[in-house]
């Protein structure tokens, strides 16, 4: 399955009042693994940036002065998400802005190009009702390092969201978690590929195995043979 984790930064909160996208980032998952493929664009919004929005993401109009307009990256964006399932935190917000941009160009809405949308905020609220479910709160809950997130940034946020999504949905595919056979590919905040080494698997020592068997034997004796962790002899077949 191909999935795209997506995030945007904007000039304000409401696309119906003319606010625009200034950054879009997408990273690719295939069969729940990061592939290293990504799309990241800064975009000139053709308007001013609200002070409140700039305080959140730190992106200035001066920085965007030489960046392309959305029309120049629309085809590349649509090609990248084509046929994939989108994973977005608070999906109505990002989709509202993306569809407003595409509507200005007489292009089809995002939902007609992608293969469905997962809203991780909605999923998190269902899993953790009554608790904070911001991206920072979910990183804390699932023990994901977000220490580099001093400001909002679409590329960093997509990487964090990918890890949150995988942690939040890990039990949906299988009861057993398979160990990684190769280093996982991740994107750094600068967009460069970095690797995360597989988890180290420590096997029990001979002494620990002996102690484990002793404890199981004690449990079996106390429970009069009902210890579920010990193999039971096969029932004898009547001759």
pTM here is 0.72
CATH architecture, domain defined by 2-196:
2-Layer Sandwich (3.30)
CB count, 10 Å around CB of 208? 10
Q: How many CA atoms lie within 13 A of 102 on its CB side?
A: 18
- For the stretch 76-101, pLDDT in tens is 999 999 999 999 999 999 999 999 99
- Pinpoint the residues of the chain covered by CATH 3.30.420.10: 2-196
One digit per residue, pLDDT tens: the chain, 239 residues?
Answer: 999 999 999 999 999 999 999 999 999 999 999 999 999 999 999 999 999 999 999 999 999 999 999 999 999 999 999 999 999 999 999 999 999 999 999 999 999 999 999 999 999 999 999 999 999 999 999 999 888 776 688 988 999 999 999 999 986 544 334 444 444 455 554 555 555 556 566 788 888 888 888 877 877 777 777 776 677 665 544 44
pLDDT for the residue numbered 197: 56
- Tokens 């295939």, located at residue: 30
**Closest listed residue to residue 165, CA positions, set 42, 34, 23:** 34
Residues forming the active site: 152
């Amino acid at each position: 399955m191909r999935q795209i984790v997506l995030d945007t930064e904007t000039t304000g909160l409401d696309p119906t009042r003319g606010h625009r996208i200034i950054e879009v980032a997408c990273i690719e998952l295939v069969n729940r693994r990061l592939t290293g493929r990504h799309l990241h664009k800064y975009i000139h919004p053709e308007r001013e940036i609200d002070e409140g929005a700039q305080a959140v993401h730190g992106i200035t109009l001066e920085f965007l002065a030489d960046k392309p307009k959305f029309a120049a990256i629309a085809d590349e964006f649509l090609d990248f998400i084509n046929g994939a399932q989108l994973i977005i935190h608070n999906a109505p917000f990002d989709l509202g802005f993306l569809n407003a941009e595409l509507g200005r160009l007489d292009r089809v809405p995002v939902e007609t190009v992608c293969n469905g949308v997962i809203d991780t905020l909605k999923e998190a609220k269902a899993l953790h009702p009554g608790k904070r479910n911001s991206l920072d709160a979910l990183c804390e809950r699932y023990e994901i390092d977000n220490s580099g997130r001093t400001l909002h940034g679409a590329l960093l946020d997509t990487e964090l969201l990918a890890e949150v999504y995988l942690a939040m949905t890990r039990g949906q595919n299988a009861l057993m978690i398979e160990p990684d056979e190769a280093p996982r590919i991740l994107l750094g905040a600068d967009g460069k590929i970095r690797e995360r080494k597989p988890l180290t698997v420590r096997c029990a020592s001979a002494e620990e195995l002996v102690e484990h068997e002793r404890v199981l034997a004690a449990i079996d004796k106390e429970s009069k043979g009902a210890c579920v962790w010990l193999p039971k002899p096969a029932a004898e077949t009547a001759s």
